[in-house]
Chain A
Amino acid sequence: MSEHTDLNLGIIQKRLERAKGPGYWRSLDELFSTDGFKDYLHREFPRQASEWIDGPDGDDSGRRNFLKIMGASLALAGLSACTKQPTEYVVPYVVEPEKLLAGKPLFYATAFPVSGIANPVLVETHEFRPTKVEGNPQHPASMGSTDVPTQASVLGLYDPDRLQTVNYIGEIRSYTSFLSTFLSLLEKQKAKGGAGISILTETVTSPTLYAQIQDALKLYPQAKWHQWDPIGNGRRVGSQLAFGQFLNTVYKFDQADVVVSLDANFLGNGPGGVRYASDFAAKRGGKGGTVGNRFYAIESTPTSTGSKADHRLAVKPSEVAVLARSLASAVTGGSASDKFIAALAKDLLGAKGKSIVIAGEDQSAEVHAIAHAINQSLDNIGKTVVLTASLEPKPVDQYADIKALVQDLNAGQVDLLLIIGGNPVYNAPNELNLRGAIQKAKTRVRLGLYDDETSEVCQWLLPETHAFETWSDAPAYDGTISIIQPLIAPLYGGKSAHDILATFTEVPDKSGYQIIREYWAAKHAGADFETWWKHTIHDGFIKDSAAAVVKADAKLPPASAPAASGHQVSFHFDPYVLDGRFSNNAWLQELPRPVTRLTWDNAVLISPKTAKELGVENENRVEVAVGSNKVEGAVWIVPGQPEGSVAISLGYGRTRSGRAGNGAGFNAYVIRTSANATYAAGASIKKIDGKFELAAVQHHFAMEGREPVKSATAEDLKKDPLAIQKMSETPNSGLTILPSDWQYKGYAWGMAIDLSGCTGCNTCVVACQAENNIPVTGKAQVLRTREMHWIRVDRYYSGNEDNPEAFFQPVACHHCENAPCEIVCPVAATAHDAEGLNNMVYNRCVGTRYCSNNCPYKVRRFNFLMYNDWETESLKLQRNPDVSVRSRGVMEKCTYCVQRINYAKITAEKEDRRVKDGEIVTACEAACPSQAIAFGDLNDPNSKVSRWKREKTNYSLLGELNTRPRTTYLADIRNPNPELTNGREG
């Protein structure tokens, strides 16, 4: 005992008194863990009680000492008892919150804005914890589905690396202390009309926020407001270039017979991507062997959208504008540069008013303008290409805008710089040296989700609210306004942009709710605002609020100078982490990129031929130099990448992202300037020593003659409607030694996946991850091929290496009737149920992995280590309480979302009826933007899945093994132009 620090009540209390504020709990913990304290607790009586024991031979000094000590203790007790005990609130539901039924989820309508464009969602909450994002089925931009970043947004909410406190140069401060400083600074600025104030925001589309900024600018007329968001400037400036005004474009893919993409990854990505994927898939069809449109893609790097094209042309980035111009001239009667363009122009001219030419988000303003001009010539504008007023109240060329800010900064004119959101220090054009310039502002205030690269150079850091913690509003791709409502109180006491802007005006403590409500109350024209407001909040969006249609004429922009010779480097926003804003989202980092199948890093994408010329192989390190700027990255060879050009994803190489984003990939912004934002010509690529391991989830892309993806052209199927089913032999169900098959008398669950519709966007994978508590394993584990996704989207190539055809195939557990996994499990941990589900019983699993070995589809996933995070508190809030959180050593796999099946069955049983078709929607099915997944009861001949399975293009994957899978596929039907018979390039 003597070797412990002897503790007594006094010392303990003294220690507690020394601790202050948030450190209080921590020191209690630390205190509890000292041996002395444990000893103290375990002694039944306080230390001095031992003094009571008399000494030997009747010596009563012990008793006397005890009385002395006790007397002193009593006298001093009043002093030490003043330590404040921590407040703990334990409040049961005395009155239960309205509508809350423990165990039943509630859904709230809101929106998740990305670059100012709202992604309308319904958020599933369990006991008021948001756990899962679904699309808002009533909203025209979602129709019930989402894109990948929206699906993953709920993890961003609980990100433990978010900025959690108000900071002033590394010290934790209170928000009030910030306010007093900030207001006094504003007071000083008032005299000069705010001439020293600069506000830098992302693209502002929120009507309320814009109104607040206007109010602030009224009070401080000399203050300046700049917008910077690296995404979407080409689109914005392109419309200005073509029409002379900033306009928004809405495409009607459900009416387009011919679609041409100029580097556009519009299926499931970017503004309207979800709706476009849905419209495109609906128009394209594929069922019944008919294809309703023809799709051409001209691309500087392969995208998931381009993989769906009937004809795909891989061209150097500089050639995209050249080819677009050639097409523009061909559709106006000029001569075409080559056979491909001639055939394409002919096709387009045959579909006047019923075609779309769309330019990509990564593309330059020039290409956007040319696309507009072609649409104009093809009479598409107003029909398939609808122009509306810009969704931004103040659209500007943001490259010019940020440049203006940097000039002000460098001129020392900025006293107070307020940066709201974004991460400009990381992603602004390199030549501006924003990092240096910002530090010339005297006071730098940053409202941000993270302590990131921009926060590093700011003094005041304010934690920003996540979209699910705040009130706001934002337009969807077509201008329909979504009201964003909070689903949870700010986890880290965050503030929204609305809160910060309110400080400029007289009412700094106005709540976000009041601000938004008052704005719309003022706008509302009808009589009963309260009812209207309630309905709007309930629905999540303002009905019929789409932006007004505008008429305008496009003209061809002047041609830019031809590109310099040498290698070219094209820059692309990563499909998931975008410009880097979601780089600390581990779901997104571990989600395989559709084409490269890479996780956790970006790479220098290079064509097989160019790789050979440069003498590089996969994972070789190269130095890419543009002018005097250089970056080092690892090579990844991608068939379909144009020769002589490499593509690099932006959004990587973050240094202050957090535990998931730090150290992932390399930062390509270093070689990107405003002059070469789309691509850089005259780049040099040099092999350097060493390798950098890249974690790909798929290493073999050829089908090896096995045809897991069956594909045919519409033409083929016209000749022989059974062509798909003739490609393989499926043993008929009578071929069994067992006396008779089990009869499914109740429900028989099954799934069909339409490969014509699948765009490989991977939304289903994240949706499944969110729904089923699937852990992230990390790069090292992915390198050992131990990723845990229950559904994966395989990607195969066929044809030649330089420009192959690509196919996607989502694969999850097939719930085989003759399941190979079931007979080999020694403990019956995986077993069939009476409705045909192949169930996985985690509690019973001992982890022999025999089931996985024997699974021909390799869809089973094993917890080789403790993959689930049982430590981080905030992440626990995200988990779906209806799904077990698996521990180490057990097998897991797709369950067909058995929790959703049972929920529907219980509901149906209570109402004494059968489950209706469409009542059960699996997480993947719900999320799929192109509605390529159907799930339901096979015993109901009218169910969607039964109808799909009756299609002549329906086939079983590896059906020849007689596993008789419950999941089947509808073949990928393509519609090539008969004039371009000689391969895809004509």
Chain B
Amino acid sequence: MSQPVELPDQIHVGTVIDESHSLASVSDKVGGIVLRRKITLGWVFGLLISFAVLQNLMAGATWLLLKGVGVWGINIPVGWGFAIINFVWWIGIGHAGTLISAILLLLNQSWRNAINRFAEAMTLFAVMCAGMFPVLHTGRPWLAYWLLPIPNTMSMWPQFRSPLLWDVFAVTTYLTISAVFWYVGLLPDLATLRDSAKSKTSQVIYGALSMGWRNSARHWQRYEKASLLLAGLATPLVVSVHTVVSFDFAVSIIPGWHTTIFPPYFVAGAIYSGFAMVLTLMIPVRKFYGLDDIITMRHLNNMAKVTLATALIVGYGYCFEAFFGYFSADTYEKFMIWNRMTGPYAPFYWMLILCNIITPQFLWSKKIRTSPGILWCISIVVNIGMWLERFVIVVTSLHRDFLPSSWGMYWPTIWDWAVYTGTLGLFMTLIFLFVRVLPMITIFELRMLLPGASVKEPVAQ
């Protein structure tokens, strides 16, 4: 037990798991949160608040369905508002989970093991929130299923040239793969919970959920193969989903939308906001559940670095968006960027620059990267910044496009806010439930990080 963990990427901010842990203590600690920990007042309070906020969604969606999308602030020329902003924002947030679970798995970044389950759950919940908006924002949501290619007697197919249709495919694929990947990854841990559960109910529920996992070598062999395949499937999604989302804008002809830089810039932005959201959620969870021996400083440090790297890519995107606007010598493009910087929505633009480019520069400092409090604040700022980015892209491009006679303004109504805050409530409610009913950290993967996990062949003398 005293043998130090040997990891190739060992760095000085600490290890990926506290050295005092053993195989049993890891299972006990993570499983114990679900099985033994008392329901605390703080958790109940948090859940109730989240659930209360979720009611905004109920009220907002009900009123919306009764009256029509006119209860929101959208208009002509600004046909898309909060709904699309929030959709893109939530989808973006989801991306960190997939990146962590798929790409980092393929890249053999074992530090991801401690955060991947949580990040994946976050992905799933974020995609659920995101998926609601495209349906709600249509004028006739009860007919939104027409976007699906369902064979019908009229041979009426969706219009395959529309990026919105690609969106449907991208998002549904994303949701499916994420859910399957997440659930497959849960199987060994569900079996662990089944085995260590004391109450009959837990045993039955976890037993059913674990689908007969018996830890046999054959199970493990198939499991490894399946998760590798799923990781392979999910990897292109990290890039493709937000690329397709960016096509919603890039394929159009509106100045400020019609930009070739959008796909990479959107993907970077998605990972950026996703990592920020992981930090936003992980830092408190780590503190309240005393997990700083499992989610160590090294994790925070690594995530902060990814955040900084993607912030720089996003910043590059902003610079070049502005540069191309100027360099195009196109009246409309030039005006678009000028209007963003000096028009009626200029405060939003400069706030976005402040949140997304200036603030993350603090992450160059190792001290800040390893101070959970400051890191948490920065992550919140980045989340706001990324929301503003989508606001600026959607609204400032539409509100003043080609013909000055049609220029207008967009301001959200309370129903816009109700639905938006409602999805935040939904997200937080799901997170609160998740941390209590499922192991928020992958137990078996954590065990693999322990020295005992890797069997070393004795070297022939």
Q: Which residues of B contact A866 (CB under 8 A)?
A: 67-68
Cβ contact within 8 Å between A862 and B139: yes
Cβ contact within 8 Å between B70 and A846: no
Q: Is B117 an interface residue (CB 8 A)?
A: no
User: Interface centre among B253, B335, B407, by most A CB within 10 Å?
Assistant: B253
Cβ contact within 8 Å between A890 and B140: yes
| In-complex Cβ contact of A865 among B70, B138, B335 (8 A) | B70
Q: Which residues of A contact B159 (CB under 8 A)?
A: 823, 825-828
Q: Is B165 an interface residue (CB 8 A)?
A: yes
Cβ contact within 8 Å between A846 and B252: no
Query: Are A849 and B74 also in contact (CB < 8 A) when A824-B164, A827-B158, A828-B159 are?
Result: yes
Cβ contact within 8 Å between B67 and A865: yes
A-B contact pairs, 23 of them (CB 8 A): A703-B404, A704-B335, A706-B402, A708-B405, A784-B75, A785-B75, A792-B405, A823-B159, A824-B251, A844-B146, A846-B147, A848-B137, A848-B164, A849-B74, A850-B79, A854-B254, A856-B254, A857-B406, A858-B76, A858-B77, A862-B79, A864-B68, A888-B139
Q: Is B398 an interface residue (CB 8 A)?
A: yes
Q: Which residues of B contact A781 (CB under 8 A)?
A: 70
Cβ contact within 8 Å between A700 and B405: yes
Query: Are A889 and B68 also in contact (CB < 8 A) when A708-B403, A826-B164 are?
Result: yes
B75-93: CB near A (< 8 Å → 1, else 0) gives 1110110000000000000
Cβ contact within 8 Å between B252 and A826: no
B395-437: CB near A (< 8 Å → 1, else 0) gives 0001011111111110000000000000000000000000000
Q: Using CB atoms, name the residue of chain A closest to B397.
A: A853
Q: Tell me the smallest distance from the CB of B420 to a CB of chain A, in Å.
A: 18
Q: Which residues of B contact A846 (CB under 8 A)?
A: 138-140, 143-144, 146-147
| In-complex Cβ contact of B405 among A794, A844, A888, A889 (8 A) | A794
Q: Is B32 an interface residue (CB 8 A)?
A: no
Cβ contact within 8 Å between B158 and A845: no
Cβ contact within 8 Å between A864 and B70: yes
Q: Which residues of A contact B67 (CB under 8 A)?
A: 865-866
A693-733: CB near B (< 8 Å → 1, else 0) gives 00000111111111010000000000000000000000000
Residues of chain B at the chain A interface (Cβ within 8 Å): 67-71, 73-77, 79-80, 137-140, 143-144, 146-147, 156-159, 161-165, 168, 248, 251-254, 331-332, 335, 398, 400-409
Q: Tell me the smallest distance from the CB of B402 to a CB of chain A, in Å.
A: 4
Which A829-856 residues sit within 8 Å CB-CB of chain B? 844-850, 852-854, 856
CA distance A827 to B145 in the complex (A): 10
Q: Using CB atoms, name the residue of chain A closest to B161.
A: A823
Closest 8 CB pairs of A and B: A847-B139, A889-B139, A864-B70, A849-B79, A865-B70, A858-B406, A794-B405, A828-B159
Q: Which residues of A contact B69 (CB under 8 A)?
A: 847, 864, 889
Cβ contact within 8 Å between B168 and A826: yes
Q: Which residues of A contact B76 (CB under 8 A)?
A: 785-786, 852, 858, 860-862
Q: Tell me the smallest distance from the CB of B285 to a CB of chain A, in Å.
A: 37
Cβ contact within 8 Å between A891 and B139: yes
Q: Is A961 an interface residue (CB 8 A)?
A: yes
Q: Which residues of B contact A796 (CB under 8 A)?
A: 404-405
Cβ contact within 8 Å between A852 and B139: no
Q: Is A958 an interface residue (CB 8 A)?
A: yes
| With A826-B158, A827-B159, A856-B253 already in contact, 9 other A-B pairs whose C-beta atoms are closer than 8 Å | A700-B400, A708-B403, A826-B164, A826-B165, A828-B159, A846-B147, A849-B139, A853-B77, A866-B67
Q: Is A160 an interface residue (CB 8 A)?
A: no
Q: Is A137 an interface residue (CB 8 A)?
A: no
Cβ contact within 8 Å between B140 and A845: yes
CA distance A853 to B79 in the complex (A): 6
CA distance A518 to B401 in the complex (A): 63
Which A241-259 residues sit within 8 Å CB-CB of chain B? none
Q: Tell me the smallest distance from the CB of B223 to a CB of chain A, in Å.
A: 38
CA distance A698 to B400 in the complex (A): 12
Q: Which residues of B contact A706 (CB under 8 A)?
A: 331-332, 402-404
CA distance A645 to B371 in the complex (A): 67
Cβ contact within 8 Å between A827 and B407: no
Q: Using CB atoms, name the residue of chain B closest to A597.
A: B405
Q: Is A811 an interface residue (CB 8 A)?
A: yes
Cβ contact within 8 Å between A865 and B68: yes
CA distance A891 to B143 in the complex (A): 14
Cβ contact within 8 Å between B403 and A958: yes
Q: Is A36 an interface residue (CB 8 A)?
A: no
Cβ contact within 8 Å between A811 and B405: yes
Interface residues of A: mostly helix, strand, loop or mixed?
Answer: loop
CA distance A283 to B335 in the complex (A): 40
Q: Tell me the smallest distance from the CB of A207 to a CB of chain B, in Å.
A: 47
Q: Which residues of A contact B164 (CB under 8 A)?
A: 824, 826, 848, 850
Q: Tell me the smallest distance from the CB of B62 to a CB of chain A, in Å.
A: 15
| In-complex Cβ contact of B331 among A705, A824, A865 (8 A) | A705
Q: Is A922 an interface residue (CB 8 A)?
A: no
Q: Tell me the smallest distance from the CB of A481 to a CB of chain B, in Å.
A: 43
Q: Tell me the smallest distance from the CB of A694 to a CB of chain B, in Å.
A: 15
Q: Is A863 an interface residue (CB 8 A)?
A: yes
Q: Is A140 an interface residue (CB 8 A)?
A: no
Q: Which residues of B contact A823 (CB under 8 A)?
A: 159, 161-162, 251
CA distance A705 to B76 in the complex (A): 23
Cβ contact within 8 Å between B68 and A856: no
CA distance A702 to B143 in the complex (A): 41
CA distance A957 to B403 in the complex (A): 9
Cβ contact within 8 Å between B252 and A853: yes
Cβ contact within 8 Å between A853 and B404: no
Q: Is A820 an interface residue (CB 8 A)?
A: yes
CA distance A224 to B357 in the complex (A): 84
Q: Tell me the smallest distance from the CB of B70 to a CB of chain A, in Å.
A: 3
Cβ contact within 8 Å between A853 and B254: yes
Q: Which residues of B contact A809 (CB under 8 A)?
A: 405
Cβ contact within 8 Å between B161 and A958: no
Q: Tell me the smallest distance from the CB of A501 to a CB of chain B, in Å.
A: 50
Q: Which residues of B contact A958 (CB under 8 A)?
A: 402-403
Cβ contact within 8 Å between A826 and B253: no
CA distance A823 to B162 in the complex (A): 6
Q: Which residues of B contact A699 (CB under 8 A)?
A: 407-408
Cβ contact within 8 Å between B252 and A824: yes
Q: Tell me the smallest distance from the CB of A285 to a CB of chain B, in Å.
A: 26
A173-208: CB near B (< 8 Å → 1, else 0) gives 000000000000000000000000000000000000
Q: Which residues of A contact B77 (CB under 8 A)?
A: 785, 852-853, 858
Query: Are A889 and B140 also in contact (CB < 8 A) when A825-B159, A850-B162, A857-B402 are?
Result: yes
Q: Which residues of A contact B332 (CB under 8 A)?
A: 706
CA distance A866 to B158 in the complex (A): 26
Q: Which residues of B contact A703 (CB under 8 A)?
A: 404
Q: Which residues of A contact B80 (CB under 8 A)?
A: 849-850, 853
User: Interface centre among B73, B79, B138, B254, by most A CB within 10 Å?
Assistant: B79
Cβ contact within 8 Å between B402 and A853: no
CA distance A844 to B140 in the complex (A): 10
CA distance A784 to B68 in the complex (A): 15
Cβ contact within 8 Å between B402 and A827: no
| In-complex Cβ contact of A820 among B71, B137, B252 (8 A) | B252
Query: Are A863 and B68 also in contact (CB < 8 A) when A785-B77, A820-B252 are?
Result: yes
CA distance A795 to B404 in the complex (A): 10
User: Interface centre among A794, A796, A889, A961, by most B CB within 10 Å?
Assistant: A889
Q: Which residues of B contact A828 (CB under 8 A)?
A: 156-159
Cβ contact within 8 Å between B163 and A856: no
Q: Tell me the smallest distance from the CB of A960 to a CB of chain B, in Å.
A: 9
CA distance A856 to B256 in the complex (A): 13
Q: Tell me the smallest distance from the CB of B133 to a CB of chain A, in Å.
A: 12
| In-complex Cβ contact of B252 among A784, A854, A889 (8 A) | A854
Cβ contact within 8 Å between B146 and A961: no
Q: Which residues of A contact B157 (CB under 8 A)?
A: 828
CA distance A828 to B75 in the complex (A): 22
Q: Which residues of B contact A854 (CB under 8 A)?
A: 252-254
Q: Using CB atoms, name the residue of chain B closest to A887.
A: B140
Cβ contact within 8 Å between A827 and B79: no
